[in-house]
Amino acid sequence: MSTPVTAPISPYAIEVNNLTVGYGSNILMKDLNFTVNNGEIFVILGGSGCGKSSLLKNIFGLYQPLSGDVLIEGQNITVAQGAERQKIMTSFGVMYQQGALFGSMNLLDNITLFMQEYTQLTQDQMNLLARCKLDLVGLLPYETYMPSDISGGMQKRAAIARAMALDPKILFLDEPSAGLDPITSADLDQTILDLSKNLGITFVIVSHELASIYTIADKVIMLDKAAKGIIAEGDPRVLRDTSTDPMVRQFFNRITTKDAV
Amino acid sequence: MSVSETNSAVSPKTSTPVAVWSQIDASHAKITLSGVVNVYTLGGVWTQIKDSQNAWLANIPASILPNASLVFDASQVTSLDGAGIAFLIGVQESQQKAGAKFELQGLESRYQPLLHEFDPISNLFPVPVVKPKRSFVVSTGMAMQNLLDDARGLISFTGHLAADLFWSIRHIKQVRWGDFVNAAVEAGIAALPIIGLVSFLIGVILSFQAAIGMKQFGATTFVGPLAALGIVREMGPLITAILLAGRSSAAFAAEIGTMTVNNEVDALVTGGLSPIRFLVVPRVLAGILVAPILTLFADIVSIVASMITMLLYGIPFINFYNGMISAVGVEDVLSGLVNATMFGVVVSAMGCLRGMQTGTGAAAVGISATRAVVSSIVMIVLVDGIFAVISYKTGF
């Protein structure tokens, strides 16, 4: 039996119970169980094509899981409907892998769109808020640019700024630092750390960038395609040094498949 | 010290004021922030505080303005988000702009680093750029330039297309026949129902309208030959071409446009392949094949519709048929089909050209599809006009 929509106040930002992810008869991940603490930077790892992005989309309710529940701040998003679901949806922000900015709007309008819908602020106030978000990701001079006029890396950063539009308590970022130069990537890591430490924002990040993971992650889970589940969980630095699982060691120490055999 | 004016704002969600304005004396004021300050609770409150601050600053004489100070008390805040920080920055900026003092008190240390993320805050308040208005002469010149560029693009595309079509005839095995078949099926067979429906209705309407007029002169017998001639020479090819422009030209533009946006066309060029030979030639060949066939189909359906309509006016099929045979010759049908073939080339080529001229972003694909339909229809009318003149001069 699934958990009702309104559960008692949860100590976790996100709680995943017996989640099975897949498309029809193609099961990608089976019976996943994990929790994300409030204010934590949680990273989902795994090889390409193992279903990390699909898992993320199941967690924030874009796709319906095959079975199991996801509780966001104690609210079950898998069964929530209508206004209740919308309320849960506004409690988090999402940055998609390709940025997914609205091509017909400039960066400032991309960010203020959600504020116009959900807040009572005036346009000037929303613009100031949006500029603050753009400043955080280093894009302040580009507020009037259209998404198609800026580079792919800048689009990703603008998408992070848009995800923060309503100052959500949880941010889901799908490969935020992929394709960024080392300096911008390091700046972004620092921004994530600051937001987490100072505003208590919980981050759920899908990433491959080992350097970034060691810098920011409080906790990681590593997914494996063959095992259809989690093969490692914990602090990435500890996993790198102590894990006995050959896959995990190979991943964290960047060992080629040929050398690992 | 007395509190002369208190202006509190109540947030609709928490029912407790998150920010309270209090004026201590003429040159001293205080904003007290409390509770949960976020993007939702600040709605309305922000505007009220801002109005109070502006009114207060406006009333202070310029001589004592540098000594006027506003205290921002954040000691009672339970939680603050990015919007709260932006609010604080907004108040601070107004003070700085007026040349007055600003003092922040009691902000929890964990929020302090966030404030320094935005140094200097003046960057957050850019001077609005007023775009200079373009004069009439400049606008006209630019419009003319665009028209010339478009014409140049069209001429160069026509040249490339002709060269690549010629190349394809000599290297017939290297034409992408798979793409040709797909395009022909999509533009041809899939278009049969809509072309059938529209031509049937046009056939009915044309005959009805003609019959109403002709009846007054007792000449309903001549409606058949009249309608059939009009359909075969003009209406059939035109209906088909316009429907192809709406369906296939837009589809070609959207498909090639999306490829352009995704750099697929660039990949063809850098791979040493001609995008025109690769993408345009199969589609234009498909247009050449399907347009006359669809026109013939439209002709037949329209004439059958006309026959059925005239039956209501008491003209039997055989009379209609005999009248039609005496009025419509093989050269009329051929003239219509040649016309249709030209339309087929124009419609598919315009769709492909607009697709390849697509800019960047998702919106650009939509613009290209629209431009493809509009230019196709303009070109259809142009070609039809030229063909009518040639037909009149040569008697074909």
B289-316 residue pLDDT tens: 999 999 999 999 999 999 999 999 888 9
What is the DSSP code (8-state) at residue B18? S
Confidence of residue A87 (pLDDT cuts 50, 70, 90): confident
The nearest CA of chain A is from the CA of B70 a distance in Å of 20
Contact B123 A135 (CB under 8 A): yes
Question: For all residues of chain A together, what is the average pLDDT?
Answer: 87
pLDDT of residue B161: 94
pLDDT tens-place string over residues B198-217: 999 999 999 999 999 888 99
Contact B361 A103 (CB under 8 A): yes
CB-count burial class (<10 Å; 0-12, 13-18, 19+) for A109: middle
Whether the ω angle into residue B120 lies within 30 degrees of 0, i.e. cis, is: yes
Confidence of residue A252 (pLDDT cuts 50, 70, 90): confident
Confidence of residue A9 (pLDDT cuts 50, 70, 90): low
Q: Under an 8 Å CB criterion, which residues of A touch B?
A: 103-104, 115, 118-122, 125, 128-129, 131-133, 135-136, 140, 143, 146-149, 164, 166-167, 191, 194, 197-199
Contact B364 A148 (CB under 8 A): yes
pLDDT tens-place string over residues B84-97: 889 999 999 988 88
Give the DSSP H or E segment for B383: helix B362-394
pLDDT of residue A261: 59
pLDDT tens-place string over residues B56-115: 988 888 888 888 889 989 888 888 888 888 999 999 998 888 888 889 888 888 888 888
pLDDT tens-place string over residues A52-65: 888 999 998 888 89
Nearest CB to A129 within list B40, B83, B110 = B83
Residue numbers in A near B46 (CB within 8 A): 121-122, 125
Instruction: Say if strands B5-9 and B19-25 run parallel, antiparallel, or are unpaired.
Output: antiparallel
| pLDDT at B191 > cutoff 90 | yes
Q: Beta partners for A233?
A: A221
Nearest CB to A132 within list B46, B124, B126 = B124
Residue numbers in B near A164 (CB within 8 A): 82
Q: Where are the domains of chain B?
A: 5-124, 157-394
- What backbone phi and psi angles, to 5 degrees, belong to A131? -65, -40
Nearest CB to A120 within list B44, B113, B359 = B44
Nearest CB to A119 within list B39, B90, B110 = B39
Contact A148 B113 (CB under 8 A): no
Nearest CB to B46 within list A125, A167, A194 = A125
Q: Are B204 and B223 in contact, with CB atoms under 8 Å apart?
A: no
Q: Which two tokens stand for residue A171?
A: 């941010």
The nearest CA of chain B is from the CA of A261 a distance in Å of 37
Dist CA A196 CA B86 (whole Å) = 18
Q: How far, in Å, are A255, B31, B164, B291 from residue B87 at the CA level?
A: 50, 11, 63, 64
Q: Which of A248, A227, A250 is nearest to A260 (CA)?
A: A250
Residue numbers in A near B94 (CB within 8 A): none
Q: Are A4 and A76 in contact, with CB atoms under 8 Å apart?
A: yes
Residue numbers in B near A167 (CB within 8 A): 38-39, 81-83
Instruction: Go through B187-224 and write b for each residue having 16 or more CB atoms within 10 A of its CB, e for each that does not.
Output: bbeebeeebbebbbebbbebbbebbeebeeeeebbebb
Average pLDDT on B146-170 reads 93
pLDDT tens-place string over residues B333-381: 999 999 999 999 999 999 999 999 998 877 889 999 999 999 999 999 9
Average pLDDT on B12-25 reads 72
Dist CA A220 CA A207 (whole Å) = 10
Q: Are A62 and A172 in contact, with CB atoms under 8 Å apart?
A: no
Contact A125 B125 (CB under 8 A): no
Contact A135 B124 (CB under 8 A): yes
Contact A104 B362 (CB under 8 A): yes
| pLDDT at A105 > cutoff 50 | yes
DSSP A7-41: PSPPSEEEEEEEEEEEETTEEEEEEEEEEEETT-E
Q: Beta partners for A36?
A: A14
pLDDT of residue B7: 38
Q: Mutation test of the interface with chain B: which of A87, A116, A120, A191, choosing the one with the most B Cβ atoms within 10 A? A: A120
Contact A194 B114 (CB under 8 A): yes
pLDDT of residue B17: 66
pLDDT tens-place string over residues B250-281: 999 999 999 998 889 999 988 888 899 999 99
Residues in chain A: 261
Q: Which two tokens stand for residue B130?
A: 């007023």
Give the DSSP H or E segment for A229: strand A229-234
- ipTM over 0.85? The verdict is no
Contact B113 A198 (CB under 8 A): yes
CB-count burial class (<10 Å; 0-12, 13-18, 19+) for B332: middle
Query: How big is chain B by its Cα radius of gyration, in Å?
Result: 36
Query: Going by CATH, does the domain composed of B5-124 fall within 3.30.750.24?
Result: yes
Q: Higher confidence at residue A9 or residue B243?
A: B243
Give the DSSP H or E segment for B20: strand B19-25
Q: Which of B312, B292, B316, B318 is nearest to B232 (CA)?
A: B292
| pLDDT at B14 > cutoff 50 | no
